[in-house]
Structure 1
Amino acid sequence: MNFLTTLLAFAVALGSLIIFHELGHYWVARLCGVKVLRFSVGMGKVVWSRRVGPDQTEWAVSALPLGGYVKMLDSRELDGAPLSEADKAREFTRQNVWKRIAIVAAGPVANFLLAIFLFAALYMAGIAEPSSKVAPPAADTAAHQAGLQGGDVVTSVNGERVRVWSDLRWAVIQAAIDKRDMLLEVDRPGSGRHTLTLPSRAFSGMDLESDVAGKLGFGLSRPPALLGEIVKGGAAERAGLRTGDLVERLDGKPVQDWIDFQSTIRTSGGKPLLVQGMRGREPFELTVTPDVERKGSVTVSKIGAYAGQGPDMIEVTAGPVEAVAKGAVKVWDTSVLTLKMIGKMVVGEVSWKNVTGPITIADYAGQTARIGAASYLSFIAFISISLGVMNLLPIPVLDGGLLLYYSLEVLTGRPVPERFGEIAQRLGVGLLVTLMALAVFNDVVRLL
């Protein structure tokens, strides 16, 4: 079932992004008066098609699903066949350079607009996210050395307002990439507002493809091991545990939070555990023997108790205008961050292991789809931004390569020589094939 969910989620995400990208090219081509011969979802051999409209545009599905294209009337592909006078005016290469730029740029722009729309829709609907309250940082981390304490609520980073955990994590990643000091404003229970500085040297030599926030000592504040509902007949009830019990130690080891408590129970192998904690104002001590359950090849232990308290959550909502503005800012910030990461890969500051392919994207599609609609739509928005940015890179055969040619034409007043374009296109195809091979290799390594 998980495999089918992953496959379906990947197909819907990739298919919708390809269609939207190509519709951008199609709509602007039609607005510019260019004749469109084929709109294809997929590459390679056409497996299904239907002709529609006065131009009899062929709407097709092709065999290779990783891509798509819009084929316009182009004299370079007609092998010398004559054009009617009407078609000459609608042929792509005869359009002025600004129309050609608009048609080519429309695909990536459509991806950015889709991402803005999705983020705006999520903001208007309201997204419940964990607050920016942090867990106690480990003593050897930069956050601890800067004075951050467990329970602190981070309200701003370098002057930018922070409300939820995703805002904080994003701000930390940006500061790490830029290698600049982080100025933190925090609200500390019982002592008000504090200003902390995390120096840029904390980022020196840091592996940016890892959990940057975690390595620096920023951890999401988790609820304590407070017991909520006790399952009737379960191991917890048999041992005498009650709703409201606060577990502080298991087998003599301190319990940091509910996740720590749950993890210890699940991996206990069913052996008896000494539970110590507080019941109201009174300490208690008893022994619980978890029930053992086998799921496939994995053995899981459980006691039949639910968490009595969740993490602090904040409902993030916005009106239509504010939501669109927030969506546009998020798309811009994500695009800039993506370009910075690409630049750091080129100069060797970030590993090429960050290049991911269809297997990893499919995996994330399945995971976010199982979490819920909001997570899945956010995933589609981020992939749409990545698709837009990648297509704008100045690589021949991509939209960015064509935009580079047309920009040179604007500057020089004449088109790029055909011979130069052919050589550049071969090099571009070779580079894309190499990047795809690297992406698939990285995907397989992650699986193994």
Structure 2
Amino acid sequence: MNFFTTPLAFLCALGPLIILHELGHYLVARLCGVKVLRFSLGFGKVIWSRRFGPDQTEWVISMLPLGGYVRMLDDRDPATRAMSEADQAREFTRKSVWQRIAIVAAGPVANFLVAIAVFGSLYMVGMDEIGTRVRAMEASTPAYQAGLRGGDRIVAVNGEAVATYTELRWETLKAVFDKGGVRLDVVQQGGARYSATLPPAALAGKDVEGDVLGELGIAVFLSPVTIGEIPDPAGPAARAGMQPGDRVISIDGKPVADGAALMKLVGNACGRTLEFVVERAGRTLTLAVTPELNKATNLWRMNAQVISQPEMVEVALGPIDAIAAGARSTWQQAIMSLKMIGKMVTGQISLANLTGVVTIADYAGKTARMGPEVFLSFIAVVSVSLGVMNLLPIPVLDGGLLLYYSLEVLTGRRLPDRVVELAQSAGVVFLVMLMALALYNDVNRLTQPAPTPSTNTYVRCPND
């Protein structure tokens, strides 16, 4: 099923973003009086074309759907040179530098506007997101040592209010990038407030692509454990008399706060019988469960569905606040992307973090299967990334052209055509190298074997 879902989700995510990006160029070019000859979705051989409008602009779909372009009247290219006097007034290079800047910048701006609209719409409709209440943590973790305790709810990070786990992670990542500390404003279950401070040393060296909050000891609060489906009637849970709906209170006398705690206790069983205390229909029962080893995964299990849900909060805003929140999310995502790129350039982050279309397709498929809200959020993030990438000062990208025109504004004269040609050639080579590296990272990431249980989750028992 994933074979069909992933490419379809990829096309649904990237296709409209490319079209809207190019429409930005097209519409502003028309407003500036430039004649548009072709609007292409994709590169390479044309597989479909039609002509529309007063200028008979050719609208085409090309073979490689990994981008697009708008071709205008341009005297620098013999194939697009203005032949008539009327057309010469509508030729791109004859427009003022500010008009050319507006036309080139319109594509990335369109991507940012799309992201604002998508984020804003999600905030307006209302989204269920994971809250900021945290589960109990180990005493050795930085969060515990800072004073944080299980059940507490984080309401602000360095003075910035947070209501969702996503916002909490975002503000913490900003502190990692800024190499600063984190001050958490916290509300206890009884309503008392206090502040917990994580020093810069606690955040130093954290991988922004990894589970930063988890490394600090901050994990999502989960509800008490309820047993769901018991698929195997001959499995450990069924043999012990466990039933769907049972609420697990303790195992071997140790209170079970949530599903993560249960999994840890069962995983450490090593074939030993565990004494479960469960609540069923108002009665307390004691059940003897002997977990079995799954030889395929080397994990101890009891063959029962464990239901332990995170605390959810609904985020719903009015139209004005929703658009403002969408703009803020877009800005934050853009700044984070720029910081990531900057750290790659300076060597503070490995180039292995550079990703391309394969990873985008993979995430498109995964988020599509998680529901429309998650998929739309993913589209908004990709739209921001496209806008940022296109603004980088690399020749052949929009940002490279904007650099040329900025120099023209500063110096009062255009760059020599020969200089532009050399820069364009170098830009093509550099871009191909980046795409090759991104493809290598994508393939490497997908083909790397998953961590084996023996080095990650398998508990080695005394008799192993």
Do the structures match in fold with TM over 0.5? yes
Deviation at 1:229, TM superposition (A): 6.6
Q: Matches of residues 229-248 of structure 1 in structure 2 within 5 Å?
A: 235=235, 236=237, 238-242=239-243, 243-248=245-250
Task: Identify the residue that residue 134 of structure 1 maps to in structure 2.
Answer: 134
Percent of residue pairs identical: 53
Range 402-411 or range 189-198, more displaced: 189-198
- Give the match for residue 109 of structure 1: 109
2:213 matched to 1:208?
no
- The structural deviation recorded for 1:282 is 4.3
Tell me which amino acid in the other structure corresponds to 2:438: A
Amino acid at match of 1:352: L
Paired letter, 2:216 = L
- Equivalent residue of 2:76, what SS? helix
Q: Distance in 2 between matches of 1:371 and 1:191?
A: 34
Match of 1:18 in 2: 18
Q: 3-state SS of the aligned residue for 1:276? A: strand
1:408 counterpart residue number: 407
1:370-392 residue CA offsets vs partner (Å, 9 max, x unmatched): 00000000000000000000000
Q: Sort the Cα spacing of 1:284 and 1:299 in 2 relative to 1 into closer, same or farther, 3 A.
A: closer
Aligned to 2:442: 443
Aligned pairs for 1:50-89 within 5 A:
50-78=50-78, 83-89=83-89
In the alignment, what sits opposite 1:33? Answer: 33
Q: Is contact 1:158-1:183 (8 Å) kept?
A: yes
1:93 and 1:234 map into 2 onto residues whose CA distance is 77
Aligned to 1:367: 366
Displacement after TM superposition at 1:146 (Å): 1.1
In the alignment, what sits opposite 2:148?
148
* Length, aligned pairs only: 443
Look up the match of 2:259.
258
Secondary structure of the residue aligned to 1:5 is helix
Structure 2 equivalent of residue 98 of structure 1: 98
Pick closer, same or farther for the CA change 1:160–1:292 going to 2, 3 Å.
same
Please give the per-residue CA displacement for 1:318-350, whole angstroms capped at 9, x wherever unaligned: 111110000000101111111111111111111
Distance 2:298 2:24 in 1: 48
Which residue in the other structure is 1:352 paired with? 351
Q: Matched residues in 2 for 1:382 and 1:3: separation?
A: 23
Secondary structure of the residue that 1:17 maps to in structure 2? helix
Structure 1 range deviating more: 113-122 or 200-209: 200-209
Residue in 2 aligned with 1:386?
A: 385
**Greater shift in the superposed pair: 252-261 or 141-150:** 252-261
- Structure 1, 235-244 or 343-352: larger mean CA deviation: 235-244
* 1:300 CA drift (Å): 11
Contact 2:137–2:150 under 8 Å retained in 1: yes
The one-letter amino acid paired with 1:446 is R
On the 8 A contact 2:47/2:63 being kept in 1, the answer is: yes
Report the equivalent of 1:221: 221
Partner secondary structure for residue 50 of structure 1: strand
Q: C-alpha displacement at 1:289, in angstroms?
A: 6.7
Moved more, 107-116 or 135-144: 135-144
Q: Does the aligned pair in 2 maintain the 1:239–1:289 contact within 8 Å? A: no
Letter in 1 for 2:203: F
Q: Tell me how far apart the structure 1 counterparts of residues 30 and 407 of structure 2 sit (CA, whole Å).
A: 25
Shift of 1:285: 3.1
Q: What is the CA-CA distance between 1:409 and the residue it aligns to?
A: 0.7
Aligned partners of 1:357 and 1:436 also within 8 Å: yes
Which deviations, in whole Å up to 9, do the C-alpha atoms of 1:44-87 show, x marking residues without a partner? 12111111111110100111111100001111112696621110
Mark the CA change 1:232 to 1:76 in structure 2 (over 3 Å): closer, same or farther.
closer
- Output one character per residue of 1:215-256: Cα deviation in whole Å (capped at 9) or x when no partner: 122211122323357779685455322434315337x99856
1:150 to 1:40, Cα distance in 2 relative to 1, 3 A: same
Change (3 A) 1:94 1:159: same
Counterpart Cα distance in 2 of 1:72 and 1:275: 76
Q: Which residue pairs with 2:433 in the alignment? A: 434
Compare 73-82 and 54-63 and name the one that shifted more.
Answer: 73-82
Paired amino acid for 1:44: G
Aligned partner of 2:287 in structure 1 is 285
Distance across 2 between alignment mates of 1:383 and 1:82:
37
Q: Which amino acid aligns with 1:257?
A: D
Asked if 2 retains the 8 angstrom alpha-carbon contact of 1:38 and 1:57, the reply is yes
- Distance in 1 of aligned mates of 2:62 and 2:267: 48
2:28 and 2:119 map into 1 onto residues whose CA distance is: 24
Q: In structure 2, do the counterparts of structure 1 residues 79 and 39 end up closer, same or farther at CA, with 3 Å as the change threshold?
A: closer
Runs of at least 5 residues in structure 1 that lack an aligned partner in the other structure: none
1:275, distance to aligned residue in structure 2 (A): 4.2
CA 1:319–1:191: 2 relative to 1, 3 Å: closer
> Conserved in 2, the CA contact under 8 Å of 1:345 and 1:351?
yes
Deviation at 1:197, TM superposition (A): 1.0
Using a 3 Å threshold, how does the CA distance of structure 1 residues 255 and 433 change in structure 2: closer, same or farther? Answer: farther
Matched, 1:276 2:256: no
Contact 1:292–1:302 (Cα < 8 Å) also in 2: no
What corresponds to 1:417 in structure 2? 416
TM-score by length of 1: 0.91
One-letter amino acid of the structure 2 residue matched with residue 245 of structure 1: R
Give the structure 2 partner of residue 184 of structure 1.
184
Question: What is residue 9 of structure 2 aligned with on the other side?
Answer: 9
Partner of residue 331, structure 2 = 332
CA-to-partner distance for each residue in 1:358-380, whole Å, 9 max, x for gaps?
11111100000000000000000
Is the CA contact (8 Å cut-off) linking 1:234 and 1:303 kept in structure 2?
no
After superposition, the CA RMSD in angstroms is 2.8
Name the CA shift for 1:210/1:306 in 2 (closer, same or farther; >3 Å): closer
Q: Secondary structure, in 3 states, of the residue corresponding to 1:76?
A: coil
Q: Partner of 2:251 in structure 1? A: 249
Shift in CA distance, 245/395, structure 1 to aligned 2, threshold 3 Å = same
Q: Deviations over 1:160-180 (max 9, x none)?
A: 111111111111111111111
TM-score, structure 2 as length reference: 0.88
- Is the 1:154–1:185 contact (alpha carbons within 8 Å) kept by the matching residues of 2? yes
Judging changes above 3 Å, is the alpha-carbon distance between structure 1 residues 268 and 28 closer, same or farther for their aligned structure 2 residues? farther
Shifted more, 191-200 versus 3-12: the winner is 191-200
1:312 is aligned to 2:307: no
Query: Partner of 1:194 in structure 2?
Result: 194
In structure 2, the partner of 1:160 is 160
Q: Is the 8 A contact 1:234 1:304 kept in 2?
A: no
